[in-house]
Structure 1
Amino acid sequence: MTFRLTIVVDNKAADTLCAEHGYCLHLQTPEGNILFDTGQQRAFLPNMERLGLDPADISTLVLSHGHYDHTGGVVDLLKMNRNIDIYLHSAVFQPRYSLDGEAPAIVRMPFAAMEAITLHPENRIHWLSRPVAVTSFIGITGPISRTNDFEDTGGSFFLDPEGRQVDIIKDDVAMWLHTPDGLVICVGCCHSGLVNTLDYITARTGEKRIATIIGGLHLLSSSRERLAKTVAALRNFEIGKIVACHCSGEEAVNYLQEHLTTEVVWGQAGMVIEI
């Protein structure tokens, strides 16, 4: 059984590929091709073409959450593929703002992407309220329990521009693949927290070995205290490799590299991992 994971969109990119603030991962599996997020939009189709990946060949789209930098390419994808199955949480459509800057920034899913999803065949849309199996060896978490006291969403996120209603990003989901070497865990932004995500997936699968973690870790604004607690918790897992992407944060990744014996590397658009 062979899996081929290709990073299509990321903040960093190999030569000839477009980089943008966003994330998209393509998974080629024996039971169909899966797309995990779609980036903002600009880099999605050009990078797919340059990587030799055909949107029409994708059987499943999984949206990790409803931020613009993970959902913008949905419009182009659904124009080219009306037969794709979409897995997402209903909260992806919420109004969303980031108050990390001087003025509120709109970070919701673009309206065009929302419309494309609502016009997609109803029998092809799967609302995530609990863990589900996409294939015999691939699962999606659904909402992730948040049980530790040191992880948060990783930013100043709200459902209103005045900052009165905190957005806990309850639609944040992750994926896992069962492989002979253990789990491959795919995360979009990990707004539920990396440790919460690992706890949730390993408890439900019964598999303690984690071959690879790939995706955005959203540790870019984390305090040293949170990073120290994250490292201490990660040491309790048997992790082979971490491929940090998108929103992981330079300082945070450097910290993980310095304090973990696990291999920690940066991902970029064009990176291919075969398992």
Structure 2
Amino acid sequence: MKVIVLIDNNPHPLLDLYNEHGVSIYFEINDQKYLFDVGSSDKFYMNAQQLGIEIEDVDYLIISHGHNDHGGGLLKFLEVNSKAKIFISSEVKNQSFYSYRKENKRNISLDISLLERYPKRFIFLDKNSQINKNIGLICKFTDQFPLPQANRTLSVKNLNNEILDRFIHEIALIVNESRGIIIFSGCSHNGILNILHTCKEYYQKDILLCIGGTHLINSDETNSYESEEDILKIGRYINYNYPNTQIITGHCSGSNAIRSLSNVLSDKIKVFHSGFTVYTK
């Protein structure tokens, strides 16, 4: 299986590709084409064109959660692709999402009007499901491990109330292969350890690879998040309990977290960027 990161925060070291605060990942399996998230804008599409990937031919799109850095390119996708089924959490309906990071309230919602304009394109999930025997979609996660501390700066508002976001709108995708499973996670707002545990339990198989953000972001002048020891503890747990798992991360994984995790996981962790390509055997 070939996996290509169409867009990420990090630029390609050689190619002249766009980068932005967002992520979009493309892969093919059994002659079917999948897209996991569509970044913040139409730049995922521009990069796909340069990389020779036909977004028009994508069969399935999965939106990992209701934030615009993962679904901001949705309008462009709908304009160029007329056939793909689009999977998204039912919890995104009639909801607005906000960030208070650095004390500035920002609306980080999807354009939910698209759900009404293209009603036949969307499949709304409220439980763990399977697209087919190879692809599972997980939206119910264990909570036995701590959530990312930066979640406390994120809220959700329905018609009446604004509350702390519990991220019941997050979806992880699992590719079920004979040797084990591959996990795609947009931001891991439910916590990377909760996501790894839930996905392994779902298929009762070893995890070969987890690709996506960890939401272990750097502390700033306003907020303190995970300490170095907190992150090292996560790395040690992964190293001990998932010794054969490779982590490929980017987007919302801070440089401090990547450095600390690398100290524990060594060559079992890599950082992706726009245009990053990985092959699974």
TM-score by length of 2: 0.88
1:31 to 1:210, Cα distance in 2 relative to 1, 3 A: same
Q: Is the 8 A contact 2:42 2:76 kept in 1?
A: no
Give the secondary structure class of the aligned counterpart of 2:103: coil
Deviation digits for residues 188-245 of structure 1 (CA, Å, limit 9, x no counterpart): 00000000001101111010x2211111111114223431331232121133311111
The amino acid that maps onto 1:21 is H
Q: Is the 8 A contact 2:139 2:172 kept in 1?
A: yes
- The letter for the 2-side match of 1:144 is F
Report what 2:210 is aligned to.
Answer: 213
**Distance in 2 between residues matched to 1:257 and 1:169, nearest whole Å:** 27
Change (3 A) 1:46 1:168: same
TM-score, structure 1 as length reference: 0.90
Partners in 1 of 2:273 and 2:244 — Cα distance?
20
SS in 2 for 1:101: helix
Match of 1:255 among 248, 257, 260: 260
The answer for unaligned runs of 5 or more in structure 1 is none
Counterpart Cα distance in 2 of 1:178 and 1:171: 22
One-letter identity of the residue aligned with 2:155 = F
SS of match in other structure, 1:226: helix
CA distance in 1, matches of 2:140, 2:196: 13
- 1:226 and 2:224 correspond: no
Structure 1 CA distance, aligned partners of 2:245 and 2:195?
A: 16
243-252 or 130-139, which deviates more: 130-139
Q: Secondary structure at the match of 2:167?
A: coil
- Partner residue of 1:11? 9
CA root-mean-square deviation: 1.8
Note the 1:1-275 alignment, pairs <5 A: 3-14=1-12, 15-93=15-93, 94-109=95-110, 111=111, 114-122=112-120, 124-148=121-145, 150-152=146-148, 154-155=150-151, 156-159=153-156, 165-207=163-205, 209-220=206-217, 221-234=225-238, 235-261=240-266, 263-275=268-280
Distance 2:154 2:193 in 1: 20
Mapped to 2, the partners of 1:71 and 1:103 lie a distance apart of 21
Which letter does structure 2 place at the counterpart of 1:102? E
SS at match of 1:151: coil
Select between 254-263 and 225-234 the one with higher mean Cα deviation: 225-234
Counterpart contact for 1:17–1:47, Cα < 8 Å:
yes
Which stretches in structure 2 are left out of the alignment for 5+ residues?
218-224
CA distance in 2 between counterparts of 1:137 and 1:67 reads: 26
3-state SS of 1:86 partner: strand
> 1:153 deviation in Å?
6.1
Structure 2 residue matching 1:258: 3-state secondary structure? helix
